[in-house]
Structure 1
Amino acid sequence: MSHTAHIPSHRKPRQRASKSALRAGVAGGFLSTIAVAGAAGPAQAEPVTQTIEMPTITDGLSTAVAASAQATQQVALDLETQASEDAAAEKASKAAKKAHAEAVRKAEAKKKAEAAAKAEAEAEERAERASRTSERTTLSASSGSSDSGSSASAPSSSSNSSNVSGSAASIVAFAKAQVGDAYVSGGTGPNAWDCSGLVQAAYRTAGIDLPRVSQSQSTAGTQVSLDNLQPGDILYWGGAGSAYHVAIYVGGGEFVGAQNSSTGTVQRSMDYDRPTGAVRVL
C-alpha cells in the first residue's frame, strides 16, 4: 500500500457537467454580444457627409410683413380721412346754421326797416297833401298880386308855377306830372326814374338835351343863388360838378325830384331838404 495513499487530495472537486455547460453558454453569449457591439460600433460612428437643405422660414416673410404694414397704413389713412371729412361736415353744418340764423335776423331787420320807411313815407305824403291843400286855399284867397310883392325877402323863390310860360312851363308841367312814379336807380321813365333821368326827360320836352348824370347837370348852365330862383331851374345837392342829387324847382319854394326807392318821385318844400346850389339853363 502506498505511503501516500491515505493523504487526502487538496484538489477541488470537479464541478458537475451541467454547471460547466451553463457557464460556458453564458460566457459564449457575452463574448458574442461584445463581438456584435464591436462590429456595429464603427459603422454608427461614421460621420454624416450628406447636406440636407431645409426650407427657409423667412421665405415670403418680408412680403407678408410689407403687405401687413401697407394694409395697416391704409386703414390709418382711411380713419384719418374719415375724421377729416366728419370734422369738415360738422364745421359746414355749424356754418350753415349760423348763416341761416344771420339771414333770418337780417330778413327780420329788413322787414322792420321797410315797415318803418313805409310808415314814414305815408306820414310824409299825408303832410305833403295837407301842405298842398293849404297852399291852394291860400292862393285862392289871395288878390292875385305878383309873387314879388308877396315876399320882399325872396321874391323869386316865391314865384308860383301858374305864372310860368314857355319852356319853363313845359319843364315844370312834365316834372309835376311824374309825381308818384317809382324811383329806380338808372331809371329814365316813363313810370320809373332816378333824379338825373327825370331832370333830363323834363328838359327834353323843351327841346334841350342835358347830360345824363347829376354831376354834369349841376354845371350845365349858369350858377344862381337859392334866393333868386325861377321855375325850371335845376337844384343840386353836393358840389357843383360833384353833385349826388338833382331836382327841378317848380316855384312856390318847392321842387319835384325822384328822391329814393322809399318815397319815389315827390313834390316837396325846399325846407324839407335844403339844396346846396342851383343852375339856370333857360
Structure 2
Amino acid sequence: MAGYGITRFRRGTNPKLNTQDPREVSPPAPVPRQPRPSIRRGSLGNIVVMTLAGGLVATLALPAYAFTPGKGEIRYGATAATELARSGAQAVEVSTLAATTSVSRDGFTATTVEELASRARARAAATAARAAEARRKEVARQMTSYAASYTGPSAKQYLAAPAHPNVSLSSVYNVAAQYQGVPYVYGGSTPAGFDCSGLVMYVYAQFGVSLPHSSAGQAAAGTRVATSSARPGDLVVMPGHIGFYAGNGNILHAPYSGTRVRVQPIWTSNYYIVRIGT
C-alpha cells in the first residue's frame, strides 16, 4: 500500500493531528486477559462422579442370588435333596384316619338368654322346694304338739254320737263361735288347733253332719244361696278358703298360720254363700 502512496492508519488515530511519521509510531501494548474458568473440565468431573455413584447404587441393589458362584466350589454343589427334587414328582402319603378325625367344639361357650332364664327358674324351684320342706317340718312339729295337747272327742266320734241332734243355723254358729282364740294349725281339726275346713268339719260333726276336710268338698255339699239371704251359720266360700257367715258382712274362720280363730269383715267380693242341711 505504501507503494501506491496510501498510508494505513490504525484505528483510533487521526492523521491530521498526528504529525509524527507513521513509520515511527509503535504499536500499543497488549491488554492482559483474565483467565476463564474451565467449563469443560468441570463438566467432565460431574459426569465421572455421577457414573461412579450410579454404579455403587446398582451394586448395592443387586440381590444376593445375582452373584453366580463358581460351579466348582463344594458348598454350591448339588446335594441329595436337590438331586431328589430334580429327579421327578414327589408324593405325600396321608393316613386314612385323617378323614375320620372329628372336630370337637371349643370348650368356651356363650350362655344364651334361654339358658339364663332356665337357670333362674331352677333356682326359684329349688328355693320353693326348700321353703315347702321347711313348712312340712313345721306342720309335722305342730301336729305332734297338737295331737299330744288334745284328749277330747274327735269329729269321727261326734258323728257316731252327735252332741246336738237338731240342726239349725243359729245353733251351728253358736257352737262355732266358742272356738274363737284357737290357734291355726295346718291340717288341724280339733280344739287343739284348726285350719279353715277343719273348723267347719268339726262343728258340723257335732250335729251329725259329715263333711270332708276340704273347702271345695264342703262347698259342694250344700246349696248355694244369694248373698243377700245369708244368715249366721251359712258358709262363706272363697277360692281356697271357707268359714262361717257371722252376719253384717263378717266371717268367722281360721285364717292362716300364726293367727287364731276370729271374726272379721269379709275383705273381698269374690265369694258366695252355701247353706248346709236346711
Give your verdict on TM over 0.5. Answer: no
More relative contact order, 1 or 2 (CA 8 Å, 6+ apart): 1
Pick the structure with more helix per residue. 1
TM-score by length of 2: 0.38
TM-score by length of 1: 0.37
